[in-house]
Structure 1
């Protein structure tokens, strides 16, 4: 079984019917439900009955199809829930290799165009699911977020997207990257659809409301781009301050560089990545993009001492955020430093962009908190926005706040 060939810029690696002569595409679901008629694009990390999972790499696909040949493949529980709610499966989508990138570029597939900003990269690693939604080939883009793989493409393509509270949605029957940080998430073009999907996927018993008047903390020092900061401040002054309780947070309360968030995340994530994929990499010697392979081989070098120190730093960060959230309910930060890099950006520019991204995305990742991206702005004809980070279990509460603000 091989990956299906698709036209240039198709976000799909596999679409039904899989084989017209010998039908093997059969998924249980419902034609009725709250998601009736909504098209579903599924990142090629989620296992689905009778369909291969390639994790963005042809060698992974070949080796793991052979390994699973005599085993029954079951469908991931979130995919099942969406199908049972009436969603219509449109296909499996391109992911950056092993989901270990934030740029949405995969050398094994045709280059994906960012429909919202054609001269800029689409963002990853849930790149195909995002492109499927932003190009209107699907209504729901199912993906994963470990270090920003939902939030980054959502920001770069002007979509709603969320990293859910870690652990509230089971990451079953899927290819893991770093289980302590892996989450299931989704992207849509509008908030109404996003809410419908969220209520299907997020178990109600995991959620808690924000009691009383919500208190918003504005992380001013994290808005680095002058124009981005200007847009964000204008939106905050018009939409937040007149209506809700806001508090200003500066570098003395939230200094990501001093907290070493990006480096801490890289070590802890990298240690788990090698545990997940190291043996396969050494035995199969797969063909993987140079930048990703370089990071994978670095993962192998991480020492127990580095992991122990990173866990201490993670503990200190979580403690710091717990104190911060005693005075606020929602932390407002930029989702990404700005708009997506240009398609012709060199490797140094992309590496620097990745470091800047991780400094922001690792905040919620290290603490296991929910983060909702709001697609609010356009800079130089390219999308970007800001995020609401809440306490654990505030996923649906963040959506309710966004809905209330949008209705004003």
Structure 2
């Protein structure tokens, strides 16, 4: 197993609501005077040390958190597994012999091991929610745009968010209060949950059996009607790509995958072609496929994304949250091939709609943690944090 830290930091800290709490920083965020490696040695070689802290780091430090180190990340944040061919697999103490989840793998590992109290990470397609589920932690992917990403390496900018992983709900709330920009408006407390059968049917029986009691235990009204009940959802996209016979949720996943890949190539394609980095096989294949996408792929995917945005706006009014698994099951064994598509089917709704997604430890499958994901309307971060804290 690999150390979750790639570099240790001696930071005295300062007064504030986070005073005394240790902060582990994903190696996508700049720390003044320290190089940012983004999980790849070639990136490290071709980029100068940071001149200033990333905005998210600066806010947490100003609130009193003490930086203890920078942590391993999957290469350029484009994985959900937590295995880095260059730096190894950070330990998952909640599931020994299994991956911690990526791409915020080192931050999740450091918090789960008790080496840090707050793990700063990013979530584009699930990179906070999935490690939280695998490691038995709390984690929040905030509303897109509510936490500054200044000074952070991008992957897909219209999906990228910055949030934290913690061992308890109170620390999660305090850390996110330091990070979140002021809300445009207050949101009503959550009193109703959607646990749609068309999404829950996508996960194994053992995961449903472990997590559905947690949904009921929140003591809120629960509606199990299908989330995707519009028969026209996604049809334009499917005809554009030549696909047929897929579920609306799979249509959403494919749209997310296409848009993420397109943006990742726009962000890093020129650097990849100029610098010729050594990538692990999964990341290498994803960038190779991204380089071949066409405008038609993006146009069709954007239509589906618009449909998801409208659907979330309609299905998640004030006081309502979507309750679905954060991952299909427990952390995979190290070396096993994860079902990336099954994971993204559960994480893509928040990503496509820009909505906040909270992962909280809620059950076990064969003594291994599995997390529940709560998704609120965009801007509803505080009501999710209040529900977790309760």
Do both share a fold (TM > 0.5)?
yes
Matched, 1:58 2:41: yes
The 2-side partners of 1:251 and 1:325 are apart by: 10
SS of 1:117 mapped into structure 2: coil
1:380, CA displacement in angstroms?
1.0
SS of 2:144 mapped into structure 1: coil
| Structure 2 partner of 1:39 | 22
Q: Deviations over 1:241-294 (max 9, x none)?
A: xx3222222365389932411110111111110111101111111111122111
| Structure 2 partner of 1:246 | 222
| Structure 1 partner of 2:138 | 160
CA contact (8 A) 1:207 1:395 kept: no
| Structure 2 partner of 1:300 | 291
Bigger mean CA offset, 228-237 vs 319-328:
319-328
1:327–1:74 CA distance, 2 compared to 1 (3 A): closer
| Structure 2 partner of 1:219 | 196
The 2-side partners of 1:161 and 1:121 are apart by: 17
1:123, CA displacement in angstroms?
0.4
1:207, CA displacement in angstroms?
5.4
The 1-side partners of 2:185 and 2:293 are apart by: 36
The 2-side partners of 1:207 and 1:232 are apart by: 31
CA contact (8 A) 1:216 1:247 kept: yes
CA contact (8 A) 2:132 2:138 kept: yes
CA contact (8 A) 2:141 2:357 kept: yes
SS of 1:301 mapped into structure 2: coil
| Structure 2 partner of 1:319 | 310
1:333–1:274 CA distance, 2 compared to 1 (3 A): same
Matched, 1:384 2:370: yes
Normalised by the length of structure 1, the TM-score is 0.87
Matched, 1:197 2:188: no
Q: Deviations over 1:12-64 (max 9, x none)?
A: 111125xxxxxxxxx7x852111111000000000111010000001100011
CA contact (8 A) 1:168 1:206 kept: no
The 1-side partners of 2:349 and 2:95 are apart by: 27
The 1-side partners of 2:95 and 2:52 are apart by: 37
Matched, 1:285 2:276: yes
Q: Deviations over 1:110-137 (max 9, x none)?
A: 3322111012211000000000000001
CA contact (8 A) 1:217 1:328 kept: no
The 2-side partners of 1:327 and 1:398 are apart by: 12
Matched, 1:265 2:260: no
Matched, 1:123 2:123: no
SS of 1:249 mapped into structure 2: coil
Matched, 1:9 2:2: yes
Alignment of 1:40-189 (within 5 A): 40-65=23-48, 73-189=51-167
Which runs of 5 or more residues in structure 2 are unaligned? 234-245
1:244–1:31 CA distance, 2 compared to 1 (3 A): same
The 1-side partners of 2:264 and 2:213 are apart by: 40
Alignment root-mean-square deviation, CA: 1.9
The 1-side partners of 2:184 and 2:4 are apart by: 33
1:43–1:206 CA distance, 2 compared to 1 (3 A): farther
